[in-house]
Amino acid sequence: MTKTTSGMFDRSIRTFVEEAGAATPTPGGGSVAALVGALGAAMVSMAANFTQGAKFADAEAAMKDAADRLQGWTRDCEDMLEADIASFNRYMDAMKLPKTTEEEKSIRKEALHVASLQAIEVPLGLMRICRDALKLTADIAASANPNVISDLGIGAILFEASAHSAYLTVEINLASLKDEEAVKLYDDRAAVLLREIGEWKRSAVGAVRGIIWKGSR
């Protein structure tokens, strides 16, 4: 279960890194995964913004659209961080519920179940963002400015890393879920996302490497 605090995106890089490495509960893995996704979007957005002007007239409209969508995904990553905060707080509130009587135990059990499902939905949402962003990255790679093509490739790698990090958060919450049918449903969804993410990442990075080595000959 990820633990973090509000306003994480407004902190300095130094502060974030120091807090992430300290023996404190925040920021947690979900925060790091969301930040990595945002960094991936930044790299691909930079490549799209550098692929504009007269030299790239044929691709400019698509690149402007891509940059706009990537900025939206950056905001979505921040939203995922905030949603992660909410899901953790909800889980902790459920843990603190009384469990003296059978009724109290039942209420607490249901609250924990609902909180666990939310804690799974949030990282799955981040995985979907990374999947969609990787598809866009692969789509624009061939026409991107070759001078920043490695940055686009780095963005693709970061999206994949963000998604796999989010999947670990899914897994740790699935492991504590007692509903076997729900576990299978969520794990199947995650498996499909991981497969698509891997395919789009390989497509994007393959195109990047093709452009790099073509330019060296």
pLDDT per residue as tens digits for the range 141-158: 999 999 999 999 999 999
Phi, psi of 98 (to 5 degrees): -65, 155
DSSP state of 99: -
DSSP state of 96: T
List, for residues 13-34, the tens digit of each pLDDT value: 898 888 778 786 667 788 899 9
What is the band of 215 on the pLDDT scale with cuts at 50, 70, 90? low
The answer to whether residue 65 scores a pLDDT higher than 90 is: yes
- Residues 9 and 193: their CA atoms lie apart, in Å, by 26
Average pLDDT score, the chain = 91
List, for residues 183-198, the tens digit of each pLDDT value: 999 999 999 999 999 9
The answer to whether residue 1 scores a pLDDT higher than 50 is: no
User: Can you name the CATH fold of 29-215?
Assistant: Four Helix Bundle (Hemerythrin (Met), subunit A) (1.20.120)
Domain boundaries, the chain: 29-215
Pick from 5-19, 37-51, 68-82, 88-102: least confident? 5-19
Please name which of 31, 16, 128 lies closest in space to residue 87, comparing C-alpha atoms: 31
Strand locations in 66-157 (E): none
| Predicted pLDDT at 64 | 97
- Residues 161 and 84: their CA atoms lie apart, in Å, by 18
| Predicted pLDDT at 207 | 97
Q: Can you give the pTM of this predicted structure?
A: 0.91
The answer to whether residue 60 scores a pLDDT higher than 70 is: yes
Pick from 24-33, 114-123, 169-178: least confident? 24-33
What is the band of 5 on the pLDDT scale with cuts at 50, 70, 90? very low
- C-alpha distances in Å from residue 165, one per residue of 3, 51, 94, 99: 14, 30, 25, 34
- Residues 170 and 18: their CA atoms lie apart, in Å, by 25
- Residues 17 and 32: their CA atoms lie apart, in Å, by 10
